[in-house]
Amino acid sequence: MFPFTLEKPRSTEDAIAAAASGARFIAGGTTLIDLMREQVECPDRLIDINSLPFGGIRVEGEDLVIGALARMAEVAADPNVQRLQPLIAESLIEGASPQLRNMASMGGNLLQRVRCPYFRMLDAGCNKRTPGSGCAAIDGLNSGHAILGTSDHCVATHPSDVAVALVALDATMRVKGPQGERSFPVEELFRLPGDTPHLEHTLLPGELIVEIRVPGGPHSRRARYLKVRDRASYEFALVSAAAALSIEDGVIREVRLAVGGVGTRPWRLRDCEAALVGTRPERRAFEEAAQLARQGARPLRHNQFKVELLPRTVVRALALAGEVA
Amino acid sequence: MAENPSELHPPGPIISRREALQATAAAAALAALPSASVAATNAAAANTVTLTMTVNGRAHTLTIDPRQSVLDVLRETLNLTGTKKGCNQGACGACTVLVNGKRIVSCLTLASMHDGARIETIEGLEKDGALHPLQEAFVEHDGLQCGFCTPGQIMSGLGCIAEGHAGSPEEIQFWMSGNICRCGAYPGIVAAVADAAGRT
Amino acid sequence: MNVSSIGKPLTRVDGRAKVTGTARYAADFNQPGQLYAVIVSATVGLGRVTEIASTEVERMPGVVAVITHRNAQKLPYLPHKGVIDPAVGERLHVLQDDQVHFYGQPVAIVVADNLDHAERAAAALRITYAARRPLVDHADRTIERIAPKSADGSRGDADVAVTQAPVMIDEAYEIARENHNPMEPHATTAAWSGDRLTLWSKSQYLVNEQAEIAAVFGLPVENVEVICPFIGGAFGTSLRTWPHVTLAALAARQTGRTVKLVLSRKQMFFTTGHRPRTLQRIALGATPDGKLTGVIHEGTGETSRYEQFTEALTAATAYLYSCPNVRTQYRLAQLDTSTPNHMRGPGEASGIFALESAMDELSYKLGIDPIELRRRNEPRRDEAENKPFSSRSLMQCYELGSERFGWARRTPEPRSMRDGRLLIGLGAATATYPAYHAPASARVRLLADGLAEVEAAASDMGPGTYTSMTQVAAEFLGLPPEQVRFRLGQSAYPQTPSHGGSWTMASVGSAIRAACVEAQAQAASRAVADSGSPVFEASVDDLEWSEGRLRRRGDASPGMSYRDIIARTGTPVEAEGSAQRDPEVAEGYSMHSFGAVFAEVAIDPDVGTIRVRRIVGAYGIGRVVNPLLARSQCTGGMIGGIGMALMERTVLDPRDGRPVNAHMADYLMPVNLDVPKLEAYFVDEVDPHVNPLGVKGLGEIALVGTAPAIANAVFHATGRRVRSLPIHIEDVLTA
């Protein structure tokens, strides 16, 4: 690990100013410290933001508002989260381990870096880590990599579970930066790799995520997160799906669907959603709609199976949400 | 075949500016000294932080490198070697301790971010020669084999019980899955946590 | 001797040390003033080092030394081969030249005043290589296969028999490379005092580590001391003495300081052995009523270019079933990788997967219940060696296991069992492993306070050696276990074989028994010579020991305890004992453990997730010294088998040979939630031949058989026969 200095900001403004001049925020540190140890991340200044007032979880009308410094475990255990947005709680406890969930902040979770093994290895090409160095994964071992949203420069999968749930639920986030505050959909946080895979998100220099707002609706209560993996726990998703349904008079009125483990960012399935609205919540309808999930999929040598597993996971998540056999 | 086929990119910074400055200062000051003492003086030139941590009820004021994890401070600075380093990557749970009552992996926790923290480790559980009920239960249910993951399992089990996640064997399995046991002592671990949860 | 300790479910005598954090493992012996060493591993898969920019790293904060092949001392590397070293080839000589034989080979070691400085400096060391593309894929048919010595076996004409058989199958099997991945990383702290070296080092074979390092440095063996009271799991990885031990000692010598060296988890995938990837072929011929007429088993394992690692891949096929025509063949593919080594159930775990998968497949082809098929081919004697088994309880294991498992509820058709949406499959497989016995010795000291101290240079990587050896000594001394202190983990103690191959109890236990018998004889002769003793001048035949007391036969008096005898004679009794297998017995019998493993799996037909629901194992392993610990060892082995069946594989990038998933999050092993109900049973088995204790060993057979039972259950659930391990979601997704 490179040497660094650790700064404790006196105010949010202090923290933002420091970050705008090149320092890095640190909250739980579960991604950053790990990558600093590998020297994938080499910040020389860290700003410990844990004392800033962005923790806690509250309810505003139908909205659930989650502080960016709230810990994953705290959010998952919160009665309001469990009551209003069980999908978020479910996606959180399927991620990482109890210990890591006690440490990792919600803001940090959204900004966690990819799990591509070559990204972690300084002696392999990785355009995300070292722009212009090539992508060792495209012609290497790539069973865990993405099939959607990839480019010739990067095929790494976005690893977050709760981000998939938040994108499905049309969550928005509020950020503070040197130019003031702004809010935007969580989905817009994530960039596609394109030819600039080192640019992962749309935050401006110095911007700090302060809270996440999740609007409630009739779909919120009929929502499930399904994470498919070879190990029952403590493993990143091969494919995951967040599905939320609003059903009235036996017909789907509204549906929210997003998938993880397959995309270079959390992947909303709007075509599937559109195909499902107005249909009856039945397996056949789910299967037909789920075929649309793999539109545009570009499998690599070792992850071909995800093209098959993706629609199956979508069907199963919809079936769980709709309580259909 | 090109030379260095795996070096597909230009090298990043190998030695940072600060490191170079420290090294130069140290080397200049100590050119005449034998090698053994170079190390100590180099360390003094390095960036350090001073903080207080309460470990198992005892306050320690420490001057450390900001890079040091809680795990390394426990093991290498305080010589509390009961907490184990299994992977140093947050992927095994062997280094689990309680920080301010919550179970965390101490390998991914910078000590410099925990000034004033209350830390509990495996060494602090025994009181006046009596084992904690969870320690007893691990022995009785044979929830261990090689014993290396055991301190982490026990500290994690304490967290699991305190969080209210020890209601059934299935629940314990789910909430104890952040601690890998390569010997496969899981059935005994689950039985021990269930037993101790019932006792406390 | 009527205070019985053997057979009791004692909790671990070292349990308290392990639950309080006071048990000290190799990296826990911090020494005053120690330095920290970090290995720099090669980042190319083959070639040579052309340039090392050490100078600037030497000036980094805290750095004491940067040791490379350019400035490393030339080490004598005197010839040495331990029992566990490959018979052919020569061990890696570390930092002695510029050659890189495999990705991850140590090419430098950086020593600094603290860990952060050492790690940072090691990462900063810039090394340039002239690299070539390594060959690491042993499925590559262009790689020459070599035949190790006595690798093949044959009786009858298997090829003709299989070709002409009314029913036959002929299939290929593959098992991925696996890494042991014990929770404890390898670690060595090395301290020199003049030309004497102390190593606190993780080792399953202390006396070999002592001899190996003595040979590397050209020292008398007695100048090296190895200390390792606890091993944080090993499963074979610490049988050999790997390069890092030499590096720690070298760094300590070159810096003149005590040096602590711990491998990173990533480095645990480089130079500390692995279960070799294997490619196998099994061909079976049978009559329509299920009698085997021919068996062919061919297997290839991977090894390095510099050593020929061999394991018993095809050995069990020769004796497991009755068949007049059997041919086995074993080959090695030499690759640009590090040398593999034994991993739990070495050889058998891989070979039995292929054979037992094939037997299962044959059972479906014949329409015969898989257990019935094995019954019809149960041999009366070892047909390969043409000698009787010392004991063989395979059919009793199948009976007990199928009853406990509820095999009768299985409907034979694949995909015929369901639980709601889930596909249910039930599978069974045979397990076997040789009952080895190696020469060992032990020392017993009877002390004035009535305690007995027992010592042997053995190890305890988790099976409970501390506890079970305490029980053995207690049994043969007639003392309660609380009065026995068993010590292990020091090379200075009486020599024992490696702690592996399921022979620790057979070997060390028998030596302890011999030492106890000798100690009793010495105590008795002192008492007989003592004019004040109640047994003065008694003849030996007239004496008996009972509950640790010496009396004349039939005498109702309290007699004399060890303490009484020692109190009267002043000095503790000290006795050594050793034991080895009688060559005539070894010649006369075929000695193996057997078991039957049953697995139930549930597979989600939509998304392909495979979860093991239950495993039952029934084993014939001779005498069980401690049923509590034996069950733990068995269930632990089953969990290892779940890993082998459904998770574990180390994947090499063919471009440079790097293990791509050298990370605990990417090399999957079972977590708590993966573990179903596990049951282990032992059939009553008395084996009078195998060793004086009648024990056949347990550590290996506990894993063998689990993977094929699971794979067979996967077939039963899905109708999809998967012949390569691990079986992942993608293998059953479209089944």
Q: Shortest Cα distance from A185 to chain B (angstroms)?
A: 30
A12 touches chain B (CB under 8 A): no
What does the pLDDT read at residue C175? 98
* B103 contacts A44? CB cut-off 8 A: no
- Could you tell me how many CB contacts below 8 A there are between chain A and chain C? 86
Q: What is the mean pLDDT of chain C?
A: 97
pLDDT confidence band for B38 (50 / 70 / 90): very low
Contacts of C120 in chain A (CB under 8 A): 1-3
Largest Cα span, chain A: 62
Place of tokens 């309808």: A285
Q: Shortest Cα distance from C376 to chain B (angstroms)?
A: 35
First to last CA, chain B: 66
* A231 contacts C660? CB cut-off 8 A: no
Nearest to C183 among B45, B72, B94 (CB): B94
Q: Give the mean model confidence (pLDDT) for residues A78-107.
A: 98
Name the residue in chain B with its Cα closest to that of A34.
B89
* C608 contacts A117? CB cut-off 8 A: no
Contacts of B93 in chain A (CB under 8 A): 97, 99
Region(s) of chain A under CATH 3.30.43.10: 5-50
Fold of the domain built from segment(s) C31-132+183-233+238-269: Aldehyde Oxidoreductase; domain 4 (3.30.365)
Per-residue pLDDT for A157 more than 90? yes
Fold of the domain built from segment(s) B47-124: Ubiquitin-like (UB roll) (3.10.20)
What does the pLDDT read at residue C672? 98
Per-residue pLDDT for C330 more than 90? yes
Among C611, C602, C596, C630, smallest CA distance to C464 is for C630
What does the pLDDT read at residue B31? 38
What does the pLDDT read at residue C150? 83
Q: What is the pLDDT of residues B128-184, one digit of tens each?
A: 999 999 999 999 999 999 999 999 999 999 999 999 999 999 999 999 999 999 999
C548 touches chain B (CB under 8 A): no
Per-residue pLDDT for A135 more than 50? yes
pLDDT confidence band for B1 (50 / 70 / 90): very low
Fold of the domain built from segment(s) C15-21+438-580: Aldehyde Oxidoreductase; domain 4 (3.30.365)
Residue extents of the structural domains in chain C: 15-21+438-580, 31-132+183-233+238-269, 278-436+586-733
Q: Shortest Cα distance from A123 to chain C (angstroms)?
A: 6
For C525, half-sphere exposure in the C-beta direction (CA atoms, 13 angstrom radius) is 7
Q: Shortest Cα distance from A295 to chain B (angstroms)?
A: 33
Contact C257, C64 (CB under 8 A): yes
Contacts of C107 in chain B (CB under 8 A): none
Q: Which of B96, B104, B107, B171 to mutate to test the interface with A (most CBs of A within 10 A)?
A: B104
Contact A60, A37 (CB under 8 A): no
* C235 contacts B76? CB cut-off 8 A: no
Name the residue in chain B with its Cα closest to that of A40.
B12
* Sequence letter at residue A87: L
Q: Give the mean model confidence (pLDDT) for residues C388-400.
A: 98
Nearest to C120 among A1, A305, A313 (CB): A1
pLDDT confidence band for C593 (50 / 70 / 90): very high
Instruction: Please list the residues that pair with B98 across neighbouring strands.
Output: B103, B120
Name the residue in chain A with its Cα closest to that of C650.
A141
* C670 contacts A117? CB cut-off 8 A: no
Options 3.40.50.300, 3.40.50.720, 2.40.50.100, 1.10.150.120; CATH of B126-200: 1.10.150.120
C488 touches chain B (CB under 8 A): no
The chains found to touch C (3+ Cβ pairs under 8 angstroms) are: A, B
Residue extents of the structural domains in chain B: 47-124, 126-200
Q: Shortest Cα distance from B163 to chain A (angstroms)?
A: 9
Complex prediction ipTM: 0.97
Per-residue pLDDT for C459 more than 60? yes
Q: What is the pLDDT of residues C559-588, one digit of tens each?
A: 999 999 999 988 999 999 999 999 999 999
pLDDT confidence band for C556 (50 / 70 / 90): confident
Nearest to C11 among B6, B75, B142 (CB): B142
Sign, Cα dihedral of A89, A95, A97, A103: negative
Contact C650, C659 (CB under 8 A): yes
B19 touches chain A (CB under 8 A): yes
Q: Give the mean model confidence (pLDDT) for residues C366-376.
A: 98
What is the CATH number assigned to the segment(s) C278-436+586-733? 3.30.365.10
pLDDT confidence band for A244 (50 / 70 / 90): very high
Architecture label for domain A5-50? 2-Layer Sandwich (3.30)
Per-residue pLDDT for B44 more than 80? no
Q: Strand A24-26 and strand A5-7: pairing?
A: unpaired
What does the pLDDT read at residue C349? 98
What does the pLDDT read at residue A51? 97
* B35 contacts C64? CB cut-off 8 A: yes
Region(s) of chain A under CATH 3.30.390.50: 223-323
Fold of the domain built from segment(s) A223-323: Enolase-like; domain 1 (3.30.390)
Per-residue pLDDT for C428 more than 60? yes
Q: What is the mean pLDDT of chain A?
A: 97
Q: Shortest Cα distance from A1 to chain C (angstroms)?
A: 5
Q: Shortest Cα distance from A319 to chain C (angstroms)?
A: 11
pLDDT confidence band for A218 (50 / 70 / 90): very high
Per-residue pLDDT for C1 more than 80? no
* Sequence letter at residue C540: V
Contacts of A229 in chain C (CB under 8 A): 609, 729
Q: Give the mean model confidence (pLDDT) for residues C598-621.
A: 98
Query: What are φ and ψ of residue A61, in 5° steps?
Result: 60, -125
More confident residue, C5 or B21: C5
Q: What is the pLDDT of residues A174-194, one digit of tens each?
A: 999 999 999 999 999 999 999
Nearest to C607 among A140, A234, A313 (CB): A313
Asked if C15-21+438-580 and C278-436+586-733 have one fold, the answer is: yes
Query: Six-digit token pair at C40?
Result: 């720099």
* B6 contacts C183? CB cut-off 8 A: no
Q: Give the mean model confidence (pLDDT) for residues A144-155.
A: 98
Among B146, A34, B155, B97, smallest CA distance to C185 is for B146
Percent helix, strand, coil in chain B, to 5, is 40, 15, 45
Per-residue pLDDT for C489 more than 90? yes
- Could you tell me how many CB contacts below 8 A there are between chain A and chain B? 114
pLDDT confidence band for B7 (50 / 70 / 90): very low
Q: Supply the residues of C annotated as catalytic.
A: 700
* C233 contacts B182? CB cut-off 8 A: yes
What does the pLDDT read at residue C4? 86
Give dist(CA C569, CA C35) in Å, integer.
49
* B159 contacts A99? CB cut-off 8 A: yes
Q: What is the pLDDT of residues A109-129, one digit of tens each?
A: 999 999 999 999 999 999 999
* C674 contacts A232? CB cut-off 8 A: yes
Give dist(CA C619, CA C692) in Å, integer.
20
Contacts of B163 in chain A (CB under 8 A): 73, 77, 98
Write down the pTM of the prediction.
0.97
Q: Which of A99, A123, A126 to mutate to test the interface with B (most CBs of B within 10 A)?
A: A99
Contact C461, C237 (CB under 8 A): no
**Beta strands per DSSP E along C20-152:** 35-41, 47-52, 63-68, 88-89, 99-100, 106-112, 127-131, 145-146
